[in-house]
Structure 1
Amino acid sequence: MVESWVLAGGAAVVSAEDVTELLRARIAAGALETVLESASGRTLFVVSNTERAMVMLLDHPGDPGEHATDPGAEGWSDGYVLANGQEDEYPDADTVPLHEGLRIVRRILTTGCPPSDSSWTVDR
């Protein structure tokens, strides 16, 4: 059975069918960080700068996790604003284009795993 996911601190289940619209609406409203928590204890972080996304998946609290990557991407991007107001900058190789990040998140919510054709770096 695929695990259920909710917005951190929320009670309403976020479905794979609705997650793209939810993330786009949050980004448009200036909420560039979204944290989803699963019933099994995993956490999915999505931080965007409106063009690219840092997508991180943690198995449990304290887990360094893993994150989606864009091998071969060059340069750095800023504007990744966290909920606490901190603004981060990441190498583009450690982020993915926003549309790809949304696809990855949708797949994780659907199957529990990232798409097999996406690139990941394990930070554990």
Structure 2
Amino acid sequence: MTESWVIEGDGSSPMPPEAAARALRARVEAGPGETWLTSTNGRALGLVTNGGRALVMLLADEDDPGEHAVDPGAGGVGDGYVLANGQHDRYPDEDTVPLAEAHRLVEHVVRTGEWPLDAPRAVDR
């Protein structure tokens, strides 16, 4: 079976890969800082944004610490990352990517099931 993805909490049907980045842009514009997509294979793809940068995570299952996209050499710490439970987080910029890059990564994972080959990431397992 081909893996398909849905946005958690939207009650939506599986989204085509080309719609992933568009759906995320719409959610960011509407205000939610945290979005999770779940796949038919039990994986989860999360994005938490402050509007300029995003933490992008890919988890094999709910118990997996997973892996996340990184921006090697980025300096500083960003704040304004608001989780669904209302918690406000700060992340080092090297552990986040620019929002446009986050959209590209999510669309690629939804389309292929894998990170793009050119996307640096940290494995947290």
Q: TM-score range by the shorter chain?
A: over 0.9
Question: Deviation at 1:7?
Answer: 1.2
**1:3-42 equivalences in 2 (<5 Å):** 3-9=3-9, 10-42=11-43
Deviation per CA, 1:22-73: give whole Å up to 9, x if none: 1111111111111000000000000111100100000011100000000000
d(CA) in 1 for partners of 2:90 and 2:20? Answer: 25
| 8 A contact 1:6–1:13 mirrored in 2 | yes
Question: Deviation at 1:8?
Answer: 1.5
Q: Which runs of 5+ in 2 are unaligned?
A: none
Partner of residue 69, structure 2: 68
| 8 A contact 1:41–1:59 mirrored in 2 | yes
Q: Helix, strand or coil for the counterpart of 1:13?
A: coil
d(CA) in 2 for partners of 1:19 and 1:11? Answer: 12
TM norm structure 1: 0.96
% of aligned pairs identical?
55
1:44 aligns with 2:45: yes
Partner of residue 87, structure 1: 88
| 8 A contact 1:2–1:112 mirrored in 2 | no
Question: Deviation at 1:11?
Answer: 4.1
1:103 aligns with 2:110: no
Question: Deviation at 1:82?
Answer: 0.7
Aligned AA (2:104) = R
CA RMSD of aligned residues (A): 1.0
Aligned AA (1:39) = T
d(CA) in 2 for partners of 1:87 and 1:44? Answer: 20
Change (3 A) 1:74 1:13: same
